[in-house]
């Protein structure tokens, strides 16, 4: 990783209250290099520059950290090349993380990174959260689910519900949330969830807007 991008990672993480140890920075560097290498052979991400990966994948993943309640288990739905689940695991080693994605090559890459970084207490599953076997294995066991790739909020909340413990949380990561969606949030009438928190911000040293929505299962 170029020095400029390493500084972006370190200082960007600080903006979210995270002090990255030297060893963790080196792990992110390795992650980045492996992602670029694999991306030459298969399309894991449309973002192909070092700076783009640091900003739009690594720091975007870490942006949820200030809003993460005290949890011990997390399911990352549609985790792609491992985001945000693997970066969150890297800064929160005691967190039990399960990654799930329907694209085999992405799960293969996740497993490669988990082995390469020597991460423990993290598993990558090939499948969909609609799969009965996955629900039977994980249903009702998790403190939190997180999703960065879902375009529609209502189906995500519906599908996530059976995986969470009572009092568990659904964290939804969004881009710049349009006004219509904020209006929709205020109109949600459900006995399943309570909207606990919304946050809007820009990624560090950029104009890229992000939103985080936090729902509690009731």
Give the whole-angstrom CA distance, residue 69 versus residue 64. 10
DSSP classification of residue 50: H
Q: Model confidence over 195-214: pLDDT tens digits?
A: 888 899 999 999 999 999 99
- We report the CATH number of the domain holding residue 132 as 3.40.50.150
Place 189 in a pLDDT band, splitting at 50, 70 and 90. low
pTM: 0.93
- Nearest 5°: the CA angle 46, 2, 47 is 5
Does the structure show a pLDDT above 60 at 139?
A: yes
Give the whole-angstrom CA distance, residue 206 versus residue 189. 35
Residue 54 lies in a domain: no
**Minimum mean pLDDT among 79-93, 109-123, 136-150: which range?**
136-150
Phi, psi of 202 (to 5 degrees): -110, 145
Range of the domain at 134: 60-217
User: In this predicted structure, what is the pLDDT of residue 188?
Assistant: 59
Q: Model confidence over 3-27: pLDDT tens digits?
A: 999 999 999 999 999 999 999 999 9
Residue 51 lies in a domain: no
Phi, psi of 81 (to 5 degrees): -85, 20
Residue 33 lies in a domain: no
Name 145's bridge partners: 75, 170
Residue 156 lies in a domain: yes
């Amino acid at each position: 990783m170029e020095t400029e991008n390493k500084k972006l990672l370190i200082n960007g993480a600080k903006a979210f209250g995270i002090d990255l140890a030297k060893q963790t920075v080196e792990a992110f560097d390795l992650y980045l290099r492996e992602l670029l290498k694999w991306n030459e052979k298969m399309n894991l991400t449309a973002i192909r520059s070092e700076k783009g990966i640091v900003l739009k994948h690594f720091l975007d993943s870490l942006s949820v950290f200030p809003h993460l309640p005290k949890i011990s288990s997390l399911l990352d739905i549609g985790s792609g090349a491992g985001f945000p689940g693997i970066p969150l695991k890297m800064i929160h080693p005691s967190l039990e993380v399960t990654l799930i994605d329907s694209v085999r090559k992405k799960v293969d890459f996740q497993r490669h990174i988990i082995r390469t970084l020597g991460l423990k207490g993290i598993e990558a599953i090939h499948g969909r959260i609609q799969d009965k076997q996955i629900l039977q294995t994980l249903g009702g066991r998790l403190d939190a689910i997180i999703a960065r790739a879902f375009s529609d909020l209502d189906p995500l909340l519906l599908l996530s519900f059976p995986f969470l413990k009572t009092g568990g949380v659904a964290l939804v990561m969004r881009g710049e949330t349009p006004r219509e969606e904020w209006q929709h949030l205020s109109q949600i009438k459900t006995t399943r969830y309570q909207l606990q928190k919304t946050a809007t911000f820009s990624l560090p040293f950029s104009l890229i807007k992000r939103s985080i929505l936090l729902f509690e299962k009731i």
